[in-house]
Amino acid sequence: MYRSLLLPTDGSEAAERGVEEGLRLAKALGARVAFLHALEPLGPRLLLGPETLPYYQALLEDLRREGLKALDRATQRAEAMGVPFEAHLLEGRAAEVILAESAKHDLVVLGSHGRTGADLVLLGSVALEVVRRAPKPVLVVPYRRA
């Protein structure tokens, strides 16, 4: 049985859909959830860093602030539903952070943008990488704009 669910979020509409479904499942199962936001590196330090990009630190702080907002929205939903939770903001590539954290939980529930073609090649797919490499079951919640 699933007693602990990992719910990653990047604050996007697709991720929010994954959080909603994960919370509904956790409520039905009487499970705990762990919300996770990965603060992605901005690029190779030689190309993008404080030495070469004067506003690097401000940009990093903006990204951290947005991550905390996404986690705050998720925790407010969990509180409203009475689902026990914890929340973490960790630094690193999103897929790598999710995979590392997934070992501590029974199930990963994440939203997918459903990118295809050039979008998939250029932007990648965190969900696809997690599904392929996760040591635990993964529930992917599809998202399509209306």
Q: What is the pLDDT of residue 41?
A: 77
Q: Residue 96: which H helix or E strand, with range?
A: helix 94-102
Residues in Cβ contact with 100 at an 8 Å cutoff, skipping those fewer than 6 apart: 92
Q: What is the pLDDT of residue 45?
A: 52
pLDDT at residue 118 is higher than 50:
no
What is the residue range of 137's domain? Answer: 4-142
Between β-strands 4-8 and 138-142, what pairing exists: parallel, antiparallel or unpaired?
Answer: unpaired
Q: Mean pLDDT over all residues of the chain?
A: 87
Q: What is the DSSP letter of 38?
A: E
Domain count within the chain: 1
46: domain CATH number is 3.40.50.12370
Residue 107: HSE in the Cβ half-sphere, 13 Å Cα cutoff:
21
- Tell me the pLDDT tens digit for each residue of 5-19: 999 999 999 999 999
Rounded to two decimals, the pTM is 0.87
pLDDT average, residue stretch 51-80: 89
Q: What is the pLDDT of residue 119?
A: 42
| Percentage of residues in the chain having pLDDT higher than 70 | 83
